[in-house]
Every structure is written in C-alpha cells, then in structure tokens.
Amino acid sequence: MDTIVSLAKRRGIIFQSSEIYGGLNGFFDYGPLGAEIKRNIRSAWWNDMVHRRDDIVGIETSIIMHPRVWEASGHVEGFTDPMVDCKVSKQRYRADQLFFAEAIVTPEDATDGKPTSEGSVFTYPDLYPSTPETIGYVSALETDDITGELHRRAQELKRKRGARGTLAPLVVKDITEARAEEIPLIPSPATGEAGSLTPPRAFNLMFQTHVGALRDESAVAYLRPETAQGMFVDFKSVVDTGRVKLPFGIAQIGKSFRNEITPRNYIFRSREFEQMEMEYFIHPDADWFACHEEWLNWCQDWLVSIGIPREQLSLFEHPKEKLAFYSRRTVDIMFRYPFGVQELWGIAARSDYDLKQHAKFSGKPLEIFDEATKSKFVPHVIEPAVGVDRILLAVLCSAYYEDEIEGEKRSVLRFHPRIAPYKVAVFPLLKNKPPLVERAQTLYKALKRKYNVFYDESGAIGRRYRRQDEIGTPWCVTIDFDTIEKDGTFTLRDRDSLRQERMTEAGLFAMLDERLG
Ligand code: GAP
C-alpha cells in the first residue's frame, strides 16, 4: 500500500487535504492527474449507466436536504457505528473493528517435550494447570489475519505470565460481543493495558450543520451521508416530468459525508467521498431476484470494462439475519486491495421501504399509476451503490506494474484508455528541428480538441516514453523525419505491448474513437 500512496503523491494523483496545515484526517484532495482519473471514472459510469440506456435518467440533488428526509430514511435514529473510547489515550475505535479473545491455557498438551508418568500427563502438578485456566485477554485492531495476530499476542502473554500448558484455540470476537464483565479485562490497543476501554456506544455518523442565521435546534440540518435519498425524494417529480415507465432507474453522482470514527486505508474509508448510486424501480410483482442478479452482473462487467481484473473481484452475500428488516438481499462486490479483500460496490434489494417512508413522513403519495390495471402501487427498488474513490483506489492498485526493458526498471500505470488521465502524448523527435516541432504541435492541437493530450519535447525519446508510462498514457506519437519528408505517417507506440507502428492522423483518430468510445 505504501508504494501506491507514495506513487499517488509523487505523480499528483492524491494529496492529503490541507496538507500545509498538517492535514485533516479522513479528507483528501485530488491533484491534476487524480482529478482527471476521477472525472474519467464518473464519465464512464454516467455514459454506460445513463446515456447508453433507455431506462435510466440522471439527476443531481442537493447535499443539504430537509432534515425530515433523514428522519424518514432512518439515518437520524439509526445511522450509527458502535464506538469504544480508551480513557487513557483518548483514542476512539470502531467497536466492530476492535477484536479480542480470552487467552486460556489447557493442560492437554503439557506432555509436549516434558516428562510424563503412565496414566497421568502431569508429572509436576504444581506447574501445569489441571483445568483450563484464563491467563488474561488480548486485543487487536482488525487486520487481514486477526486470528493470527491475536494468537501471537496470546503467546506473548503466556510467555510474560510464565504460564505452562497449551493455549486453547482462541474464540475471536469483536468488542460489541463482549460481556459487560469482560470490558475491563480487555487491553486497549493504544496502551496495551486493560481497564481503560469504555463499553461500546452508538455514534451517529451524520455531519450536522445549521441552515440560516439561527444556531438552535430548529435550524439543524445534515450533510447527506448518501446520495440515494435524493432519488427517493425526487421520485414523484421525475415520474411526473420524465416520461419514465417501469422498470426504470434514477441515477446520481455526488459527494456524501460520513463522520467515520476511524477513517482509514487511505481513500478507502474517508469522511468526504463521492458516490455513484442508481435506484432501479420495479413492479412489486416483478422477479426482484432476477433483477438483482442482472445488476450484480452488470456492475462486475462494468468494473472489468474499465480495467479492473475480474480475478481480483469476489462476492460477499450479506447473511439474512444481518440484513435490515426491509432488505431482501444485499451482495457486495469485493476487491482485493493491498490491505485485504474489502467492499467496493453494494447491490441491495431494498423493497418499497424508502418510498413508503417518505410518503408517510411527507404526506405525499409516492406511487405509480398502472394504466393497464387502473391501479396504483409503490414500486420496489434495486440499488447498486458504489464509491468513486474506492473505484479509483482499485483502479490504481490494479494498474500499477513494474517490469524491465533492456535492463532498465520501468514502472507503469496500466490504466484502461477510458480511465487514463492522458490518452496520447505527442513528441517531436528533436526539439531543435522546427518542422518536426510544428507538425507535432499541429497534431497535438488537433487531438486536444477531443481528448486530454500531453506534449513533450524534452529529453531522449526513451525517457519521454518512460515518463508517460509512469502516468499511464496508453499511446505515444513521435513525429520524425519520415513524417515530414515522406508519407505524413508517424510512429505510434503502445504502452503495454511496446509495439510501434506507423499510423496516419486519420487512422489515429479512428483508433482513439473506437478504443475510448
Ligand atoms: N445508499 C446505500 C449506501 O450508501 P453504503 O454501502 O453505505 O450504501 C455505498 O455505501 C458505497 O459507497 C460503498 O460500497 C462504498 O463504495 C462507498 N462508501 C461508503 N462509505 C464510504 C467512505 N466512508 N469512504 C469512501 N467510500 C465509501
């Protein structure tokens, strides 16, 4: 992960927000290349989700909505994460990310390498426990191998205590599952000492603000924690004005804000992030499961279409007993990030809950009138919801590649052409030959009208190629003497295959149209 973080900083992709003031935890800025990549992810999604389909329309709703929206949606009451404080270090942890286990020593394997007598494993009953014995508790913050980590800590504890016998297999739990009497026994991850952790408490993740000049309760409003509610609240306006017919979707891209207790893993979990969500409305009698499956496949195919390798994706089906009462099914598309396999995209079957809640709280019916049966009903919804920042991180992690060309190390960002910040780089072979420079400039300006293109005339061609490889430019064009003296063709070099071919300007435009379309 460190390689990706330093690469992103070095190349102007991602910066810590307010860095000159020491940064602000959970907030990030996108530099010149990052802003382009992000924009390309958004455009690819919008084109494929909205423009290229007949059944989906796009909207943009405000970040601050009527506070009743969040009462209706359940966020004011229930959008919480359980948190635990360490009273000594003043650190705060998400309770479901703080794991613990009771370290118990059993006598069973006390024979291992020790003298025994027939019929009894205990030659030295004073030294070895005759019954399982708790030697203390161990804790650790979530890692890829939390069981392994806790086991290491339990062994260390056993060594420190000078305990004999064998550690029993650990039963790993998160601290929300701890009994009240266990809390004072669990060490704080900050101090390593027990006794300073508070019991888990619900912490609301919504950012509050005030609208207008008053600062009292009546002026309280929230920064939206998801874009989805905008689609439900505007449902009637879209139906009344958009000439949509079931099944249809409403899509939106926009910023969301969550006061995450432990923002971490770089831009994976931040406090300000961007979502791309789509609510797909279906008839209550429609085959919701088939529709859910369709969207699950669509989303995976889309990720692959922008260059994320299918083998780095997997699915996580939320257990039925952990689903919200209104949810029929939620499946997450997971990506293998360097810090572990984590949620990238959630696809939820949310029944008619949201529309019904807003109808109840607003007093306005949110229904569809069916001409055929002359009846009204509330549609059900399938919701694919993804974060732009998480896609960008997945794209970055899977694009980074190192190889060797002619004994020289090359680092490459193998972005899909649709996602690459620059599509083409144009070079004159030599910068001190005006006809080469002029031709290169003309081509550069022609390409620039349609695409984001880079012009570079400094250094040897090999170095210029390397610079483009490092920022993920898929193609480089070199204007040479044949271009101006012979047939006008130039060299087109491919970043991944390293193949070079002669190409005309018309051929280049046609190829770009096809590959970037
Ligand atoms: N409307 C449903 C909803 O918002 P979610 O699973 O909470 O569901 C959807 O969020 C997606 O938004 C996630 O799969 C993830 O990609 C992204 N996301 C959620 N919280 C995030 C955070 N703190 N930082 C970055 N991305 C986040």
Q: Which atom of ligand 1 is nearest to the CA of 343?
A: 14
Contact criterion met (CB below 8 Å) for 326 and 353: yes
Lowest mean pLDDT among 4-8, 122-126, 287-291: 122-126
Q: Identify which of 233, 250, 256 to mutate to test ligand 1's pocket (most ligand atoms within 8 A of the CB).
A: 256
Nearest to 338 by CA among 269, 418, 393: 393
Q: Provide the 8-state DSSP code for 486.
A: S
Q: Is 270 in the pocket of ligand 1 (CB under 6 A)?
A: yes
User: For residue 200, is pLDDT > 90?
Assistant: yes
Name the closest-CA residue to atom 24, ligand 1.
Answer: 269
Highest mean pLDDT among 105-114, 207-216, 307-316: 307-316
Q: Which atom of ligand 1 is nearest to the CA of 258?
A: 23
Rounded mean pLDDT of the chain? 93
Tracing tokens 């002359």 back to the chain, one arrives at 374
Q: Which atom of ligand 1 is nearest to the CA of 275?
A: 12
What's the pLDDT at 144?
79
Q: Identify which of 203, 268, 273, 302 to mutate to test ligand 1's pocket (most ligand atoms within 8 A of the CB).
A: 273
pLDDT digits (tens, 9 = 90+) for 49-86: 999 999 999 999 999 999 999 999 999 999 999 999 99
User: For residue 298, is pLDDT > 50?
Assistant: yes
Residue 334 pairs in a beta bridge with 314, 343
Give me the mean pLDDT over the 13-37 stretch. Answer: 97
User: For residue 114, is pLDDT > 70?
Assistant: no
- Band of pLDDT at residue 113, cut at 50, 70 and 90: very low
What's the pLDDT at 73?
97
Residue 444 pairs in a beta bridge with none
What's the pLDDT at 146?
92
User: For residue 135, is pLDDT > 50?
Assistant: yes
What's the pLDDT at 132?
87
Q: How many CA atoms lie within 13 A of 176 on its CB side?
A: 10
- Band of pLDDT at residue 225, cut at 50, 70 and 90: very high
Give me the mean pLDDT over the 383-387 stretch. Answer: 98
Q: Provide the 8-state DSSP code for 187.
A: B
Lowest mean pLDDT among 44-58, 116-130, 315-329, 396-410: 116-130
Give me the mean pLDDT over the 143-159 stretch. Answer: 93
Question: What percent of the chain shows pLDDT beyond 70?
Answer: 96
What's the pLDDT at 112?
47
User: For residue 110, is pLDDT > 60?
Assistant: no
Lowest mean pLDDT among 236-240, 316-320, 324-328: 324-328
pLDDT digits (tens, 9 = 90+) for 69-79: 999 999 999 99
What's the pLDDT at 301?
98
Residue 15 pairs in a beta bridge with 29
- Band of pLDDT at residue 109, cut at 50, 70 and 90: low
User: For residue 128, is pLDDT > 80?
Assistant: no
Q: Which atom of ligand 1 is nearest to the CA of 385?
A: 9
**The pairing of beta strand 424-428 with beta strand 475-479:** parallel
Q: How many other C-beta atoms lie within 10 A of the C-beta of residue 320?
A: 10
What's the pLDDT at 120?
39
**The pairing of beta strand 248-257 with beta strand 272-282:** antiparallel
Question: How far is the C-alpha of 415 from the C-alpha of 404, rounded, in Å?
Answer: 18
Within 324-387, residue ranges assigned H as helices are: 353-362
What's the pLDDT at 300?
98
User: For residue 126, is pLDDT > 80?
Assistant: no
User: For residue 512, is pLDDT > 60?
Assistant: yes
Distance 392 CA to ligand 1 centre (A): 14
Give me the mean pLDDT over the 428-445 stretch. Answer: 96
